[in-house]
Structure 1
Amino acid sequence: MEFWFTYLLEGSLGILLVVLFYKIIIEDLTFFSLARITLLALLGAAVLLPLFSFDFQWFSESPIRPINTSLLWVEGQVNPENVTDSYSSFNWGLLLISIYLVGVVYSLSRLILGILKTLTWISESEKLNFGSYIIVVNQKFIPASFFSFILLPESPQRSKEYDQILLHESVHIQKGHTWDVLFLQVIKSLFWFNPAIYLLEKQLREIHEFQADQEVTNSYSPIAYSRLLLKQLSKDCGLQFMNNFNQFQTKKRIMMMNKTKSTAIQKNRFLLGIPLVVLMIGLFSCNMAVSQSELTGTWTGTDFQFEQTEGPDLSAMIEGGRALHEGGKLMLNEDGTMEISTEKGEVNGSGVWKKVDDKTLLIHDKSGEVTYYEIISATDKELITKHDVEMDTPMGKVAGTITLTYKR
């Protein structure tokens, strides 16, 4: 669960950075094809990079490790990811993830039903061949495109206006804009709670319209085409995956049509996308703290410190804990299993382990006890942890903090 919260937070921040990049750096440029590729590539990076962790270790055998490998089930053991805090009176995490999943199901259901509704309308409508495309005529449609279909409310007439509409929609089909929108809709379903994804959707659709408008004005007068846009203003069809002829800011489209073409030197702005990707790698994927692989191995206990905060003086019990730890072995295996043994080799505990975050190690033993260890220091040769303990004894409740030191 923690993995998903982290992923959604980092992915949302990545999407916001992409929106700001488009708005500040490339929105006013007329290189629409390059803008489309850049926006889609940066969006892909924003939602994929948080899934990976890049361990910058010069001699590591596996420098790239998926974050969620530590979430795998260990055969015969309990998955630490499913361990809940027994001291929590209410599982807020479960409530939040339930609300999130309801939003995802609703968004995906709306998308799927919209596609099925469109396919049903297409199957029931009149169809005309138009080169390599198919014109679908139905009064429920407004001029739009859907994969290889051009959707019209009435049969096309031989006129310049209809020729411009057909050319506009055919560009959407040639460029594969429906695939772009569907890709974005799936991501929007996962990040439905993030306002930035709706801004990014608007930006991508604007680029689609600018691309199609640019192709039309290469063959027809921009003035005549602008009049057609104003004439065709109508309500949106409500299907979020279509490219509608008149769906976005007509004023802005007309301004872009008449805008002076950007110069070749201005293409260099797109190169700023590279530092943005590097920034996202640094924010989401660079694991500069101790990694799971760094903790793997056999550690020998060298020092035991107990700072008591409550209860009677039980020096004998403390010394017994020290004797078990010092010279004992802590084995953290690559498959997520762990074992604690005494200096004489007697097994004193076993179970599963995982690195929860940059400073927390979780151990869940076979008896069902879950312990969170704060990582105070970790190097190739030394590991120092600290954890709180609390126990009931015949002489009363004892509580305190144990600091453990290990050598590799």
Structure 2
Amino acid sequence: MLDYLLKSSGCLLVFMLFYKLILERESFHHIKRFYLLGSVVFAFTIPLITFTTLAEAEPLTEISGNALVVPQAVVTEEVFDWQFLLWLIYSLGVLFFAFRFVRNLWQLGYKIKNHQKIAKPTHVQVLMLTHIIPHTFLNYVFVEKATLESKAIPKEILLHEEVHATQKHTLDVLLLEVLQIVGWFHPLIYLIKKDIQLNHEFLADQAVIKQGYQTKNYQNILLDFSINSSQGPLVSSINYSLIKKRFTIMKKHSSQRVKWLKSLVMLPLLALLIYSFSTSEVVYDDMVAEEFATDYTARSIEIEVLNNGRYLIDGQAATAATFTSVLQQLHQDITPEIRNHIMNVHVNHDKPVADEAVWFIFNSFQEYGFYRIVTYNQEIIRTKGNTPFAIGDNQEQKGATKEQIAEYNTLAKKYNSQPEDNRRFKTKDVERMEYLYGLMTKEQKANAQPFPNIPPPPPLPPAPPVDSEKMSPELQKLGAQFHKKANAYGKAVSAYMKNQKGNTADLKKQYEEVLAYYKSYKAKADEENSGTILPPPPPPAPSIENKVTALSYSKELAEKGAQFYFNDTKITSEKGLEIIETQKNITVETYPYTNKQPEVKIYTKK
């Protein structure tokens, strides 16, 4: 509402300034009348005009699961409702002006009904018994009966009022009065109403002069009748305060050339206002918008380029001949249009890859659909229209540039300086660091800031504890699927935190898949009344570089009866905790969601 009010006010102000500076002193009053009325109409309709642009849906960005939201205590405080007060004041104003408008209409109707009337060809004279200055409402001209019968009212004045009646000036005033009820607080409405009523006087004066009456004599008559001439807001009457300006305009005679030139200027003015104060709206393609109504998140495909023209596509072997057929088997639940907005293709991670292979992958994904393709030294984004490096142009970047290293160090230092247990990562910063870090050579990585230890997505909720003997086959199947996915997720988290294997987008995707299995499993368990929900478990195991946290988490799992392994050999929990606490070159992997009991696996680093 505020935006509409500001736009309409801006339009009306520009229209009025143009009138005051360019049109008011000209003598083509009929054009000015319609300009002023059009200004009111256009000022309040232009902001309602909406220009739509058809576009594809915006690409979805990868959502990092590491940006955890920490609940904050919300202190509610009872505050005064200013909005209610403003609406109350506005409503009272509307009621007041509406009452005044109805009262004035009733008073005029009462005068017309209860006084003698004389029908003329173009209007009706209402003969008043009290002393009044002639004035007009609709096609009724109110005059003092005694003055009219004694012929003390000059013909010029009667003709002046007749023009008001025949040209229906009252309709303009009524329109502004109704608008004033709704926008009683708006100063521009009062000002343009004043301009419209003054132009009505210009029109009546012009009509009288064209009948051959002497201008000087007519001006003297107006002076005599203009004193104390106010007869109410709904009527047209002679006004003393505007006499001087009326006298000036009476002497003005605009040429036809000026009339048409200034009239033509109104067209670009209208176009400019429509362009400036209308609304632009992007309408997405129906098919894409409909498909995007589903809340899709970013997805990714991992491609590893092997020797002799062989590839691994999300772990599935393929050759150049079978590449497309293997690719088409992946993510069949979404269309190429959706893939063009959410599918991220990672090639060889931070390992070099030949330009020829990148071009082959790029061309193979054209029909399948992709949002971006990321290699160790380039990023191809579909919406940007860029393509892989040209083959043989020696454009391959050997490591990161100084500027890229400086950018990476700035971002990494920013997050490394934060307390590790209270870091808040921005998705775009994580993606940028991963990209820049992937460009670096081993030597550059050794001399750069260490890659920040990014916490993984939030932990998964626990599975409902159930009695396997009472589980239906469907529930058993859902439980097996959930445990399989949950354990794979825990392993991926450990691998990522150990050496950044994988990326945050993949972890997010994997987390959401496990959560989907959990919801199905929990719903079915609740339906069969097989158990209750336990409190959420601790977060997934951190990397061994943070030994204190790794040890404390392993202790929590030990208290829950976890089975410990050292290089795949069963050991006691006491022995396992001792190894974690004392030895350095080890890797700790946790499996908190196994069917029987949690597991902690410790391996010696090779």
Same-fold status (TM-score > 0.5): yes
CA shift at 1:160, angstroms?
A: 8.4
Structure whose CA Rg is larger: 2
CA distance in 1, matches of 2:38, 2:419: 54
Q: 1:257 aligns with which of 250, 261, 271?
A: 250
Identify the range of structure 1 (8-17 vs 203-212) with the bigger mean alpha-carbon deviation: 8-17
Q: Is 2:92 the counterpart of 1:92?
A: no
Q: Does 1:300 align with 2:296?
A: yes
Determine if contact 1:206/1:248 at 8 Å carries over to the other structure: no
Q: Is the 8 A contact 1:300 1:326 kept in 2?
A: no
Correspondence 1:5-404 to 2 at 5 A:
5-57=2-54, 89-138=79-128, 139=130, 141-155=132-146, 156-157=148-149, 159=151, 161-219=153-211, 220-246=213-239, 248-259=241-252, 261-267=253-259, 268-287=261-280, 297-298=292-293, 299-302=295-298, 318=458, 320=460, 326=509
CA 123–281 in structure 1, closer or farther in 2 if over 3 Å, else same: same
Q: Is the 8 A contact 1:42 1:273 kept in 2?
A: no
Q: 1:324 to 1:344 in 2, by over 3 A?
A: farther
> Taking structure 1 as reference, are residues 133 and 291 closer, same or farther at Cα in structure 2, changes over 3 Å only?
farther
Q: What is the letter of the counterpart of residue 42 of structure 1?
A: S
Judged with a 3 Å threshold, the aligned counterparts in structure 2 of structure 1 residues 91 and 14 are, in CA distance, closer, same or farther, namely: farther
Cα gap change, 1:92 to 1:211, in 2 (>3 Å): same
**Counting strand residues as a fraction of each chain, which structure ranks higher?**
1
State the Cα distance separating 1:48 from its structure 2 match.
Answer: 1.5
Higher relative contact order (CA 8 A, sep 6+): 1
Say which SS state the counterpart of residue 226 (structure 2) adopts: coil
CA contact 1:326–1:343 (8 Å) conserved in 2: no
TM-score, length-normalised on structure 2?
0.45
Please state which structure has a larger fraction of its residues in helix. Answer: 2
**Counterpart-to-counterpart distance in 2, 1:120 and 1:106:** 21
Deviation at 1:159, TM superposition (A): 4.8
- Cα separation, partners in 2 of 1:266 and 1:58, compared to 1, 3 Å: farther
What is aligned with 2:499? Answer: none
Contact 1:300 1:327 in 2 (8 A): no
CA contact (8 A) 2:118 2:125 kept: yes
Q: Percent identity?
A: 28
CA distance in 1 between counterparts of 2:184 and 2:258 reads 34
State the Cα distance separating 1:30 from its structure 2 match.
Answer: 0.3
**Aligned Cα root-mean-square deviation (Å):** 4.0
In structure 2, relative to structure 1, the CA distance for the partners of 1:266 and 1:241 (3 Å cut) is same
Aligned residue identity for 2:296: T
| TM-score, structure 1 as length reference | 0.64
Per-residue CA deviations over 1:356-397 (Å, capped at 9, x if unaligned) read: xxxxxxxxxxxxxxxxxxxxxxxxxxxxxxxxxxxxx999xx
Give the number of equivalent residue pairs.
307
Q: Is the 8 A contact 1:137 1:153 kept in 2?
A: yes
Letter in 2 for 1:150: V
Give the CA deviation at 1:15.
1.8
Which letter does structure 1 place at the counterpart of 2:177? Q
Note the C-alpha offset of 1:8. 2.1
C-alpha distance in 1 between matches for 2:4 and 2:78: 23
| Residues 302, 327 of structure 1: 8 Å contact kept | no
Helix, strand or coil at the partner of 1:301: coil
Q: 1:237 to 1:289 in 2, by over 3 A?
A: same
Q: Shift of the alpha carbon at 1:309?
A: 11
Give the residue type in structure 1 aligned to 2:272: L
Structure 2 residues without counterparts, runs of 5 or longer: 57-75, 300-341, 343-414, 425-454, 462-504, 521-535, 539-606
* Contact 1:134/1:149, CA 8 A, preserved across alignment: yes
Q: Which amino acid letter does the alignment assign opposite residue 120 of structure 2?
A: F
CA distance in 2, matches of 1:131, 1:184: 28
Change over 3 Å in CA distance of 1:247–1:290 after alignment to 2: farther
Answer whether contact 2:126 2:141 (CA < 8 A) is retained: yes
Provide the rounded CA distance (Å) in 2 between the counterparts of 1:326 and 1:160. Answer: 94
Gaps (5+ residues) in structure 1?
Answer: 60-85, 330-341, 348-392, 396-408
Distance 1:227 1:266 in 2: 30
